[in-house]
């Protein structure tokens, strides 16, 4: 712990900023200074945006997304394909897929992955509501989970829970990322890419 | 500019966080998610700390430090050596010296360095007030400015302004940093270290 050097209000601000991912104590100090120097165009708007987020943003009762509405804007969007639910671990994954803009289904955010050693079982994840949602008109459940041991274990668990229903359960393809150089890829990715090789 | 994927409140929060030094758009998204997930122990306290900083933190009329008091806690501290003013470019430099805890004078924050190409002349810096303060009981002005061209030009300008007064004007020593390996040091540092070499 660094010795306090500024007043208690500034030290408290630095300590809170340092708890954000990507900011250590040193960069939190820089961020605090920037905020204090740019009071009207940064500090005050950020304080207001945080207060508004705290009071208005809620988790969607349907899919677990964060929005100022529940059900969220995506769940309410009539243009979305109602037959497809894309299951993701975290809201950041939902944002990544929306940025890519390649699929227009609805989502289901689990809030993490199964991790028995950390005490994360099915009850800790938003799985029960997914099972409820997996009924017509839903035809496909795309498990867009991380290609990690935990992500894949979670995918298996969900597949088991949905067994016997008239549903297509799919997962993301695995292989060489676009722009990827073979020399820098791990063996697991290369093995997946070779196993799922396609005819030209 | 990334395509908006979350609601407007969240996008606004991300855009503001991305303007902090050390946070790009990607890490700002991560930070926003962390804030939204940790509402009571992080989002709400940070909103409150920012609002308090916006309403309470002011620049010290005497030295330019930021504090909830003006004159600031350091300027009011009777234990400080009243004969020494340490001149720094930015408040971050003041904090760095306070953390090091090796000198117990009072400070004077210039708010930057002379940079004619950027339109920063003496009038843009907090130099006038320094000239006013440089009277007894002050005996020494330590110019703790960056070892850059601009920092040194600023030091020369201040030295000129104070010429003729009964004051000791000093600057920080230059040389090999503690733990520094010669192999990784630039030629300027090596030249300074050799020029100022000391007898053992």
Query: Which member of A31, A56, A94 has the closest CB to residue B21?
Result: A31
Q: How do residues A28-55 score in pLDDT, each as one tens digit?
A: 999 999 999 898 999 999 999 999 999 9
Asked if A96 and A25 sit in the same domain, the reply is: no
Residue B95 pLDDT greater than 90, yes or no: no
- C-beta atoms of B53 and A91 within 8 A: no
In a domain, B66, yes or no: no
Query: Which member of A16, A53, A95 has the closest CB to residue B45?
Result: A16
Return the percentage of chain B with pLDDT > 90, whole number: 54
> Residue B22's pLDDT is what?
85
Q: What residues make up the domain containing B86?
A: 79-171
Asked if B38 and B102 sit in the same domain, the reply is: no
Residue A109 pLDDT greater than 60, yes or no: yes
Asked if A83 and A167 sit in the same domain, the reply is: yes
* Chain A residue with Cα closest to B97: A5
Q: How do residues B107-118 score in pLDDT, each as one tens digit?
A: 999 999 999 898
In a domain, A122, yes or no: yes
Distance in angstroms (rounded) separating the CA atoms of residues B166 and B81: 17
In a domain, A108, yes or no: yes
In a domain, A66, yes or no: no
Q: Are A103 and A86 in contact (CB under 8 A)?
A: yes
- C-beta atoms of B43 and A31 within 8 A: no
Q: With bands split at pLDDT 50, 70 and 90, how would you rate the model's confidence at A110?
A: very high
Residue B106 pLDDT greater than 90, yes or no: yes
Distance from CA of A166 to the nearest CA of B (A): 31
H or E segment to which residue A67 belongs: strand A66-67
Q: How do residues B35-49 score in pLDDT, each as one tens digit?
A: 998 989 999 999 999
Residue B135 pLDDT greater than 80, yes or no: yes
Chain A hits for B49, Cβ within 8 Å: 9, 12-13, 16
Asked if A12 and A49 sit in the same domain, the reply is: yes
Distance from CA of A15 to the nearest CA of B (A): 9
Distance in angstroms (rounded) separating the CA atoms of residues A20 and A34: 16
Q: How many domains does chain A have?
A: 2
Asked if A101 and A152 sit in the same domain, the reply is: yes
In a domain, A182, yes or no: no
In chain B, at which residue ranges do the beta strands (DSSP E only) sit? Answer: 58-59, 66-67, 81-88, 105-109, 140-143, 168-171
Q: What is the CATH number of the domain that holds A36?
A: 1.10.8.420
**Is the entire prediction scored with pTM above 0.80?**
no
Residue A179 pLDDT greater than 80, yes or no: no
């Amino acid at each position: 712990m660094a010795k306090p050097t500024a007043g208690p209000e500034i030290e408290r601000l630095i300590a809170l900023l340092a708890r954000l991912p990507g900011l250590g104590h040193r960069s939190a100090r820089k961020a605090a200074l920037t905020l204090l120097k740019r009071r009207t165009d940064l500090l005050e708007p950020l304080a207001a945006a945080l207060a508004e987020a705290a009071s208005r943003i809620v988790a969607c009762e349907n899919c677990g997304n964060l929005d100022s509405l529940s059900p969220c804007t995506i769940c309410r969007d009539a243009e979305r394909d109602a037959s497809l639910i894309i299951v993701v671990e975290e809201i950041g994954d939902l944002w990544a897929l929306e940025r890519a803009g390649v699929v227009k289904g609805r989502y289901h955010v689990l809030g993490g992955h199964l991790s028995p050693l950390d005490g994360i079982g099915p009850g800790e994840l938003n799985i029960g509501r997914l099972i409820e949602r997996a009924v017509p008109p839903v035809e496909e459940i795309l498990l867009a989970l991380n290609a990690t041991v935990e992500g894949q274990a979670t995918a298996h668990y969900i597949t088991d829970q949905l067994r016997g229903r008239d549903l297509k359960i799919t997962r993301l393809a695995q292989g060489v990322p676009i722009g990827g150089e073979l020399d820098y890829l791990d063996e697991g990715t290369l093995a997946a890419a070779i196993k799922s090789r396609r005819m030209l």
